[in-house]
Structure 1
């Protein structure tokens, strides 16, 4: 064993307290990247996280919010002038919606409600914000909880997650989804007048493996217009730029998991599988170029891949060097689709924000991925190297595994 290896010590304190980025969002003009930074473990009852921003290619990252509260889910306005986010800065454990100018300043609360919120987004025209909110407890439920009358009746008194839209100017919001359906996800139509939602009958986890429904909601009210039903969940809803198609991830028939990408005409019709011959697993789908194409993150064996998927099913690799490492969550892009960023890691690199540019999607002429943060403070020398190994099963199936080598390993040494 080398002297370098014997001198190294595993620092438990550092490994349980290092900071990790997530939820990367490229600004519409591609100049900035916003992301969330949070320690891997918390030091108090509540999580503390901050929103950071970093220039896309040159310059140091800077903290955008204080990090004294749970700040999360940063979302750029369509014109890139503002950043909306969720925070529990008024009442710890209860999130609300805030908006800050791009250049910093005072965060303004724009939602008159607070509680369990998720999936914040702007409408394409910047007029509205949308968010999923779980129904808060009633005054009677609060009284009973405080009085320790905590008996519960199973499969009753559900707290549904509903879709709200918010006017950031008047700071008023209203629920627009049905009170008796659990909204699992949604997507704005290009004109900002409608949203597609995927729902289940109850909030139970089991429901996402049963029949779910995708419907269209109008911002000005009215009942949902059912579009289709399926077994399993239609995840990552994305509208086409012309508003005529809706893409989503859904089961490929092997397990109830969104492995393939499908598209359906919004006016009705059968689904079209956009990835019928793809051997990998699609993990996330986002709009690209304003919905003119789809941005897909996938796994091929043990490595991640990123593709531009056209509405005609054509796939183009967008990852310099081909599949490698792991992306933690989705990859996002600028409005033009030529600047991409995400959180990436492999066996020799801790998770960090990386970015890369595209030029007419000709990957052979592109720059390699560029690390834009060094938040973990963990050098590659302290991470165990690893390599992919392959073997064939008795049934002739190629199986991949990850061989983790000792820290400081050198080829040919034992």
Structure 2
């Protein structure tokens, strides 16, 4: 049954809480046991902690960046409430400006959600206009809008009933190619004249998914991706000859051997600026690699095949180098590699997450970078190792985040808002917040390289910061922890613990959003908030997540019938209990979305968890698929199956199957930012728990709250659920058996064996 509680709203959410008490996320009926408010901790930690929580602002991260033809201006989208706005920022420094548009702009993302496919608004070759995807004024689909940069004047490129995205200008600026999905048809490659309104000209027939067009340097060829057969994740490369309309297949052709011969996913198409060669990303190897293919004869070779998943390749203006990102473990580095070079150069320290790399000209690059203590922002540097990094001003608007001060002087900034620099040019640490950087998977001993400008390096105006932004006060630098879960399969992740704390702490295993989203070395408000509550937090990256090679990313799909994810979590939980500084008791499992689903599924292993927290969990896969975006739907069906066809398999990935086995305190959290489908799934799961007589707490966080509002609510719940027994200082004895010096947690092998007539699984009755 739900436990109804009076929760005090945070100061920033009183008005939101008032309205949320009448409606739940997405305007649905109120969730039982919740009043729409958020319980805010009175102190930033466990009992006796004297630190004060301080609400501060974190920059609103910019979306993928597009650079104007002259390299002087950056265009990108920024979140604004529930939508986005279009901003322009000088590449040499200075504050961003917002274009006032008559439509709501939409991110330019590939349908299958491959990493590094976001383009940002598309500049016309003369730099006067931007092509932007946005909401159509007359129907529910999306459209391509042409925006005059100087005035913001906008018009539709094509007015038809379809979902249009991904505009790409021809080299002469006369045409715009784009991906269109007309009603009742597949993705189609189309183009239209840019100077006057007119119809869409279809280059493909719409019988199978054709998407993501890319113009050759001379405008003679238009490359695109075509879905390979019925496998939604695989794509071949094709080219259209504009003069004749001929379509030619470059990869995946019968009889083609070597690179490009077998079915694979290929994306990120980029033509060289001076020849008919195209760089792209393919998953044909153990890691995602960057390959080059000849657009005329289909001959290809590997350009960047080192360890790590590559993404977002970009040719330099001379066509001699490729800029790209490389993800390995929890970090993503920005790299550059010459077309004939043996190795790549890493441009950033390799201790955070880089994305959206772009050339500015004259050997300079811009990319988005953030780390566990700094929100992502745009940085500019020369394309050489060790160059000074220049921080561009953050987009207008901020995201409020509660942090915990470590002293009165924490968070000191210079007059221009930059981080104070020490004598050697490195950022000065905030008083009381020492930074200890552990080795990372991508760069074991990566040094910080921000500092004073070297000779010959142009420094932007005084409006731009130098080095990296100030760390968020109270945020910790995470450590790393690896667990071998199978022969040859090791899962790694990040640990969060206040460095000034001594003695063991209760453990929390945070599953984040679950696969396929990686828990990376970037700002993570949930894990940081739990660490501030004096908990030891481990965020592992499980199977199905990229950045660890095919042996990790692909084995969840191959072993879906074996409930391999929960088996891995058993091993992780045992390993966590043996860690120094961790109380030897069952950990709590916390997750959001599919991560929340996995947290609830651990109930299928009685004794594994001491508490369960699920934030907007997936509880009904049929309902989830009804509203899933194409990328998420493709991942679900590939890795878990289709409910109508594989009910037994899907049932073992559904929390209702194990609801009656929940043997510890349960917290369900619904957020106002969740989709209507997720809100409905949460209500349905709560109703099932009521039917089964399983006690739980249910809280609701209003839309628009700070990212760490959920962390505050979860931390308060876990402080009680994980508190050691007051008489013994430890949890009550459990049924765990000691085998070989390690706790072997019992497994209920019959928990999912009983099926009902429709092929599903009967929920356990406890």
Cα deviation, residue 106, structure 1 = 1.3
In structure 2, relative to structure 1, the CA distance for the partners of 1:347 and 1:69 (3 Å cut) is same
Are the equivalent residues in 1 in contact too, given 2:356–2:367 (CA < 8 A)?
no
2:77 to 36, 41, 49: 36
Structure 2 match to 1:153:
none
Cα deviation, residue 36, structure 1 = 0.5
2:352 to 322, 325, 328: 325
* Ranges in structure 1 where 5+ consecutive residues have no aligned partner: 43-47, 138-158
Whose Rg is larger? 2
1: CA distance between counterparts of 2:65 and 2:315? Answer: 15
Structure 2 match to 1:338:
364
In structure 2, relative to structure 1, the CA distance for the partners of 1:390 and 1:128 (3 Å cut) is same
1:120-154 per-position Cα deviation (integer Å, ceiling 9, x unaligned): 121222222111010125xxxxxxxxxxxxxxxxx
Structure 1 match to 2:149:
102
Q: Which has the higher helix share?
A: 2
In structure 2, relative to structure 1, the CA distance for the partners of 1:182 and 1:337 (3 Å cut) is farther
- Secondary structure of the 2:232 match is helix
In structure 2, relative to structure 1, the CA distance for the partners of 1:241 and 1:68 (3 Å cut) is closer
Structure 2 match to 1:194:
221
- Counting matched residue pairs gives 365
Structure 1 match to 2:116:
none
2:190 to 161, 164, 185: 164
1:11-40 per-position Cα deviation (integer Å, ceiling 9, x unaligned): 9xx99xx9542121122222211110124x
- Secondary structure of the 1:180 match is coil
Are the equivalent residues in 2 in contact too, given 1:26–1:341 (CA < 8 A)?
no
Alignment of 1:139-158 (within 5 A): none
- Secondary structure of the 2:480 match is strand
Structure 2 match to 1:267:
296
Structure 2 match to 1:282:
310
In structure 2, relative to structure 1, the CA distance for the partners of 1:266 and 1:106 (3 Å cut) is closer
Q: When the two structures are superposed, what TM-score results if normalisation uses the length of structure 1?
A: 0.77
Q: Which has the higher strand share?
A: 1
2: CA distance between counterparts of 1:92 and 1:345? Answer: 37
Structure 2 match to 1:146:
none
Structure 2 match to 1:91:
138
2: CA distance between counterparts of 1:64 and 1:314? Answer: 44
2: CA distance between counterparts of 1:217 and 1:290? Answer: 25
Alignment of 1:251-400 (within 5 A): 251-254=283-286, 259-276=288-305, 278-289=306-317, 291-312=319-340, 314-317=342-345, 319-320=347-348, 322-327=349-354, 329-336=355-362, 338-342=364-368, 344-352=369-377, 354-358=378-382, 361-364=383-386, 366-373=387-394, 375-378=397-400, 380-381=471-472, 384-391=475-482, 393=484, 400=492
Structure 2 match to 1:136:
183
In structure 2, relative to structure 1, the CA distance for the partners of 1:377 and 1:391 (3 Å cut) is closer
Q: When the two structures are superposed, what TM-score results if normalisation uses the length of structure 2?
A: 0.43
Are the equivalent residues in 2 in contact too, given 1:30–1:335 (CA < 8 A)?
yes
1:198-257 per-position Cα deviation (integer Å, ceiling 9, x unaligned): 20256x6x3324xx4322102345230122213122111122233332221112433xxx
Cα deviation, residue 295, structure 1 = 1.7
Structure 2 match to 1:404:
496
1:52-90 per-position Cα deviation (integer Å, ceiling 9, x unaligned): 111123211121134862344411112322222122252
- Secondary structure of the 1:289 match is coil
Are the equivalent residues in 2 in contact too, given 1:33–1:53 (CA < 8 A)?
yes
Cα deviation, residue 114, structure 1 = 4.9
Cα deviation, residue 318, structure 1 = 5.3
- Secondary structure of the 1:91 match is coil
2: CA distance between counterparts of 1:168 and 1:313? Answer: 40
In structure 2, relative to structure 1, the CA distance for the partners of 1:183 and 1:65 (3 Å cut) is farther
Alignment of 1:204-283 (within 5 A): 206-209=231-234, 212-229=235-252, 230-254=262-286, 259-276=288-305, 278-283=306-311
Q: Does 1:80 align with 2:172?
A: no
In structure 2, relative to structure 1, the CA distance for the partners of 1:388 and 1:282 (3 Å cut) is farther
Cα deviation, residue 313, structure 1 = 5.0
The structure showing larger relative contact order (alpha-carbon pairs under 8 Å, at least 6 residues apart) is 2
2: CA distance between counterparts of 1:51 and 1:118? Answer: 16
Root-mean-square deviation (Å): 3.2
1:158-192 per-position Cα deviation (integer Å, ceiling 9, x unaligned): x2101111211122231112332311433211101
2: CA distance between counterparts of 1:112 and 1:221? Answer: 26
